[in-house]
Amino acid sequence: MIPGSEAVSAPPVLSVRDLVKRFPGVLANDSISLDAMPGEVHALLGENGAGKSTLVKCIYGFYRRDSGELLIDGEPTEIRSPQEARSRGIGMVFQTLTLIPALSVVENVALFLADLPAIPKLERIAAGLETLGERYDLKVDPWAQVRDLSIGQQQKAELLKLLLSQPRLLILDEPTRVLAPQEVQGFFQVLKRLVDDGLSVILITHKLNEVLECADRITVLRQGRVAGQVERTDATETGLVRLMFDRDLTIAPVSRSTAESAEGPPVLELQQAYTRGEGAATSLEQIDLVIRPWEIVGVAGVSGNGQKELGELILGSAPCIQGTKRLFGEDFTRRSIGDVRRAGVAYIPENPLAMAVNPHMTVLQNMAITQTRRYSRRGGLSIDWQAVESDTELTWERLGFRVPPHLLARSLSGGNLQRAVIARELSHEPRLIIASYLTHGLDVQSVHAARAALVQARDQGAGVLLISEDLEELSEYSDRMVVMHAGRIVGDFRTADADIYEVGRLMTGSQFAYG
Amino acid sequence: MSKLALLGVLSSAVFSGASLLYATLGEIVSERSGIVNLGLEGVLLVSASTGFAVTSLTGNPYLGVLAAVIAGGLMNMILGYLVVNRKANQLASGLALMFFGFGLSALIGKGFVGAKIVGLPRLAVPGSSGLPKLYASLLRFDILIYLAVPVAIAIWWLLFRTRWGLGVRAVGESPDTAFASGRNPRLIRFQALWLGGALAGVGGAHLSIAYAMNWTEYMTAGLGFIAIALVIFSKWHPLYAIAGALLFSGAVAFQLLLQSSGIQVSPFLLSTIPYVLTLVVLMAWGSRRRMAAPAGLGQVYEGVE
Ligand SMILES: Nc1ncnc2c1ncn2[C@@H]1O[C@H](COP(=O)(O)OP(=O)(O)OP(=O)(O)O)[C@@H](O)[C@H]1O
Ligand SMILES: [Mg+2]
């Protein structure tokens, strides 16, 4: 784009000129230019690992760029740290949440307030949070410790944090990733109101419908370069996909479960199971759940109603204090996580960076940590890294995406991290797969690949528990659906017979309020 | 056993408990910012000797306390340079600091062994004037003792109610997040180390200028390490540290009492009571989720890429 070509009235709030950022072995941003105009939503698209997060972190001063210029209101400006970015009115929501688990929600919010007084009045901030949450339908208990919140609640806290700090330019790195569809709607309404007041937004997302709905201009990155810039009025979904991946996508239709009456014992059988939730965590009560082989069971529910705890109960990281848990026909109520995993349970948790990988180990090492017995040689004195590598290669080939194997997990892009966890969990033929927010952070292509892999596992006889807030995903992929509310299972349907309104009513628990 | 002996033991427990509390508070502040200072013992020794030397030279115990505070802060700056700027391992650097402190304090205190000083004045506990003179003389404490609990409350307030404290805790949990919020993790760690060193300095000064009123080599006798254990015991919380310091010095007093009561148990065994107690409490509390250490404790902050 020609600099200044559109500056008819006000100059861009922020212009990036020829920004270059290199990591050891990767050219993450190769001479990128873009403008963010006042009162405009500028969407940034690109496949996983294209360099979107790196670009905005350079703008925010979190990374130091190697070369290139930043202009604010047309003036060349140096931004060397987030401190300087914030003092110039730039706010950012990171892709990996920047909430501190040991602090409460208010404390996390206070931490990011630009004009926090030396002796902050947390009560006042909490009250502000509550009114904001009330107004925008983003309700989170301000005094809860973040570690007790589900990922969806954390995402809401993150958004509230930024709404309260009132910046001029807002950078949002996949803000809606783990929000339920109705919450996304609410969020975009909030955003529209803010933009009408003159706020500029740079929005990174993988959801093309969101982009087409609310962006004014769209920049597509591919392998660290600008692949194209389009106005929304000229944009189409296929056009954007072609810019992102340099080819068209073919999507195979979803097959339904073929097994009529599955032989063999259920892969999972919970009977009147209870857990005790510490702090603000949900306690599960009276859980009765059966998953058979050749079956995908969807779990619908608003985040924070016990989905996370359900996964932990099955894996064994949350003890079953009452009732029984049977896996593959055997009693596992008191067995260890190791036993559960060895029996063939795969777990894709909602927050992979915190719950599934060690950020300071490489991708390959992380691929091996759940299978150390399988790969150990000489009685555990050494690990067969070649086998790990070739197994990993095979899985990636099967899934149709790959992740740089020798990078530290913490330096992976958000989507690549999710890809790595999916690849690890779906290799070694699991018999029961628990997947929370499976497509969290994935680009369109990988979303299809990941879902196809899940269906394939089901067609080979695995049972799948698919936890999601996206009812479309659930009704398309699950064979049966249960609804969770306040730590209980409040509904159980065959997907084919499910009435979406009924599911929605159960999810929000309105039968408790009115019935 | 006489009531007098009992009172004497309790009184000495209060004196050693105050030093312990200051040292523990100092360690809490630096650990909250993510830095374990295993060199605390050395920091205490250097401040004790410096404070004593300055008091002896000037005749002013308040100047002595001030000197000890500065010495403590400076000692921690050495650690800060190693672990923050040079990104050295915290545990190894802390141990090196400790041995450095042993040597330096011996050097500073060499000319002052056996010197007589005017210590910090002792003020009677209000209401103790009616007691017999001998008893009343045991109930006279210096100003640092009276200040110990208020200081603990002030540190709690600083850490949990102020912007700076929020920043310190954020840096201790996740330096990257603190950086993203517009803070400078390195600067905050230095500030916390300085404050921690200053508090340890008060503890050291209290030991030599107010309690013992003399200087002997290695007079802290492990106090710094007990303080480090008490930090865990008190869940990195200044108010629990008061209880911890009381409990520990109470246990010391109790075992001294047992020894003097002529009980038929080896004194070596008795003197382990306070440490056994510490272990028991650590075991009982160790499994609680709420008492997790700051998540960034011991980690090097790499800075931006
Ligand atoms: N700290 C780092 N060290 C080394 N390489 C890094 C680091 N951060 C990012 N990279 C690499 O830079 C490239 C771009 O990553 P980036 O996070 O910007 O991708 P992204 O476009 O945000 O992808 P996603 O949609 O998956 O979030 C990736 O190849 C990634 O592995
Ligand atoms: Mg990203």
CATH of residue B230 = 1.10.3470
Q: How far is CA A96 from CA A182, B13, B69, in A?
A: 22, 50, 42
Q: Are A16 and A40 in contact (CB under 8 A)?
A: no
Q: Which of A472, A473, A471 is nearest to A483 (CA)?
A: A471
Can you give the pLDDT at residue A5?
Answer: 45
pLDDT at B172 over 60: yes
Mean pLDDT, rounded, of chain B: 89
For A113, the token pair is 């307030």
Residue B122 placed within a domain = no
Helix (H) or strand (E) holding A399: helix A385-399
Can you give the pLDDT at residue A513?
Answer: 38
Can you give the pLDDT at residue A262?
Answer: 59
Can you give the pLDDT at residue B260?
Answer: 78
Most confident of A81-90, B193-202, B282-291: B193-202
pLDDT at A411 over 80: yes
Determine whether B283 is exposed, middle or buried from the number of CB atoms within 10 Å of its CB (0-12, 13-18, 19+).
Answer: exposed
| Residues contacting A303, CB < 8 A, separation 6+ | A150, A151, A152, A153, A178, A180, A469
Can you give the pLDDT at residue B286?
Answer: 62
Binned at pLDDT 50, 70 and 90, residue B186 comes out as: very high
Task: Give the helix ranges, DSSP H, for A197-248.
Answer: 208-214, 237-245
Mean pLDDT, rounded, of chain A: 84
Binned at pLDDT 50, 70 and 90, residue A7 comes out as: very low
pLDDT at A1 over 50: no
CA distance from start to end of chain B: 67
What total of structural domains would you count in chain B? Answer: 1
> B52-100: per-residue pLDDT in tens?
999 999 999 999 999 999 999 999 999 999 999 998 999 999 999 999 9
Euclidean distance between CA atoms B290 and A351, whole angstroms: 21
The more confidently predicted of residues A324 and A2 is: A324
Q: Which of A351, A362, A349, A356 is nearest to A410 (CA)?
A: A362
Residue in the block written with tokens 């690849």: A423
Can you give the pLDDT at residue A403?
Answer: 83
Can you give the pLDDT at residue A347?
Answer: 92
Residue B21 placed within a domain = yes
> A11-54: per-residue pLDDT in tens?
888 999 999 999 888 898 999 999 999 889 999 998 888 899 99
Euclidean distance between CA atoms A100 and A188, whole angstroms: 26
Nearest CA to ligand 1 atom 12: A28
Can you give the pLDDT at residue B80?
Answer: 96
Q: How far is CA A235 from CA A29, A38, A215, A269, B43, in A?
A: 24, 21, 10, 48, 66
Can you give the pLDDT at residue A214?
Answer: 85
CB contact under 8 A, A111 and B164: no
Mutual angle of helices B143-161 and B238-260, in 10-degree steps: 150
The more confidently predicted of residues A182 and A422 is: A422
Euclidean distance between CA atoms A403 and A392, whole angstroms: 10
For A78, the token pair is 């140096």
Q: What is the mean pLDDT of residues A266-279?
A: 84
Can you give the pLDDT at residue B288?
Answer: 58
Can you give the pLDDT at residue A6?
Answer: 47
Can you give the pLDDT at residue B290?
Answer: 57
Can you give the pLDDT at residue B263?
Answer: 79
The more confidently predicted of residues A504 and A389 is: A389
Ligand 1 atom index nearest CA of A443: 25
Q: What is the mean pLDDT of residues A322-331?
A: 88
Can you give the pLDDT at residue B305?
Answer: 64
Q: What is the mean pLDDT of residues B284-305?
A: 71
Please tell me what DSSP assigns to residue A236.
-
The Cβ of residue A331 has, within 10 Å, a number of other Cβ atoms equal to 11
Picking from A100, A122, A276 by the largest number of B CB atoms within 10 A of its own CB, the best residue to mutate is A100
Nearest CB to A102 within list B173, B184, B304? B173
Ligand 2 midpoint to CA A94 (Å): 9
Can you give the pLDDT at residue B41?
Answer: 96
Can you give the pLDDT at residue A515?
Answer: 31
Ligand 1 atom index nearest CA of A413: 17
> B188-222: per-residue pLDDT in tens?
999 999 999 999 999 999 999 999 899 999 999 88
The more confidently predicted of residues B23 and A26 is: B23
Ligand 1 midpoint to CA A223 (Å): 10
Domain holding B40, by residue range, is: 3-113+145-292
The Cβ of residue B168 has, within 10 Å, a number of other Cβ atoms equal to 27
Residue B61 placed within a domain = yes
Q: Are A454 and A399 in contact (CB under 8 A)?
A: no
Nearest CB to B162 within list A85, A86, A118? A118
Q: Which of B69, B254, B222 is nearest to B151 (CA)?
A: B69
Residue in the block written with tokens 């802290």: B220
Q: What is the mean pLDDT of residues B44-49?
A: 97
Q: Which residue of B has its CA nearest to A411?
A: B305
| Residues contacting A406, CB < 8 A, separation 6+ | A362, A363, A364
Nearest CB to B289 within list A85, A86, A278? A278
Binned at pLDDT 50, 70 and 90, residue A407 comes out as: confident
pLDDT at B151 over 90: yes
> A238-251: per-residue pLDDT in tens?
888 888 887 776 66
Picking from B32, B156, B166 by the largest number of A CB atoms within 10 A of its own CB, the best residue to mutate is B166
pLDDT at A381 over 60: yes
Can you give the pLDDT at residue A476?
Answer: 86
For A299, the token pair is 């779990």
Homologous superfamily, domain A14-245: P-loop containing nucleotide triphosphate hydrolases (3.40.50.300)
The more confidently predicted of residues B90 and A514 is: B90
Euclidean distance between CA atoms B175 and B162, whole angstroms: 18
Binned at pLDDT 50, 70 and 90, residue A164 comes out as: confident
Helix (H) or strand (E) holding A289: strand A287-291
Residue B107 placed within a domain = yes
CA distance from start to end of chain A: 60
- For chain A, domain boundaries: 14-245
The more confidently predicted of residues A161 and B30 is: B30
| Residues in contact with ligand 1 (CB, 6 Å cut-off) | A 23, 26, 28, 46, 48-54, 95, 404, 407, 411-416, 441; B 305
Can you give the pLDDT at residue A240?
Answer: 85
